[in-house]
Amino acid sequence: MFTGIVEERGEIIGREDLAEAARFRIRGPLVTSDASFGDSIAVNGVCLTVVELDDGAFTVDVMAETLRRSSLDNLGPGATVNLERAMAAGGRFGGHIVQGHVDGVGTVVSVWPSENWTVVRIAVPGDLSRYVVEKGSITIDGISLTVSSIGRDDDRGDWLEVSLIPTTLSETTLGITATDARVNLEVDVIAKYVERLHGAGRAEGQQ
């Protein structure tokens, strides 16, 4: 489990495309400082397993399903990624419950900078928008954020906005993310459980 508090920005330094998979080599001195073979590290919000460690870098294998469901398939050497180690038992819970299981990919619609914060609007796939509420939690490329506004327009469909402070901009990839960029989205898992249980309860009541 993760909390969506990015520990460092890493860099993809190698990619090998395999049959129905890809192997990424990623530089991340902080997250590899105490990592071991088999550990979990979130890369842009995708929980991946360390298969090799070497000199401040780690290697992960990404299967075709994960590539299809996330934005990782668009990344190659030189790309910057958000990194977070799995939360240790007894660790400080700084963000919200993040599983590292991407639910879908959104698209950055606009970026509005101001003196003290920047507002980013992201188009949300229609099947995910029902889980997004104002002041609720959302994970964007592995970053735990609070939804500041939601809406819908004719061109892009459903969208959400997040307001980013300078620290978030400087310490994560959202500070260098451009319009039309694809970003990984993970909605609040509690909302999905509530929906599932509510549906099950209605079904039992109809029996």
| pLDDT per residue as tens digits for the range 74-104 | 999 999 999 999 988 777 777 888 999 999 9
**Phi, psi of 128, rounded to the nearest 5 degrees:** -105, -20
pLDDT of 191 reads: 86
Pick from 48-52, 95-99, 106-110, 195-199: least confident: 195-199
Q: Which pTM does this prediction carry?
A: 0.91
Residue 183 has pLDDT above 90, yes or no: yes
Share of the chain above pLDDT 70, in %: 96
pLDDT of 89 reads: 76
Distance CA 202, CA 151 (A): 29
Location of structure tokens 């780690």: 58
Pick from 1-5, 69-73, 93-97: least confident: 93-97
pLDDT of 200 reads: 54
pLDDT of 46 reads: 98
Judged on CB neighbours under 10 Å (0-12, 13-18, 19+), 45 is buried
User: Are the beta carbons of 85 and 48 closer than 8 angstroms?
Assistant: no
pLDDT of 167 reads: 94
Ordered by where they begin, the domains of the chain are: 8-85 (2.40.30.20), 104-194 (2.40.30.20)
pLDDT of 13 reads: 98
* Residue 202 binned pLDDT confidence (cut-offs 50, 70, 90): low
Q: How many CB atoms lie within 10 A of CB 66?
A: 19
pLDDT of 151 reads: 96
Antiparallel, parallel or unpaired: β 104-113 and 118-123: antiparallel
Share of the chain above pLDDT 90, in %: 80
Q: Which two tokens stand for residue 128?
A: 């995910």
Give the chain's end-to-end CA distance (angstroms, integer). 37
What would the mean pLDDT of 162-183 be, rounded to a whole number? Answer: 95
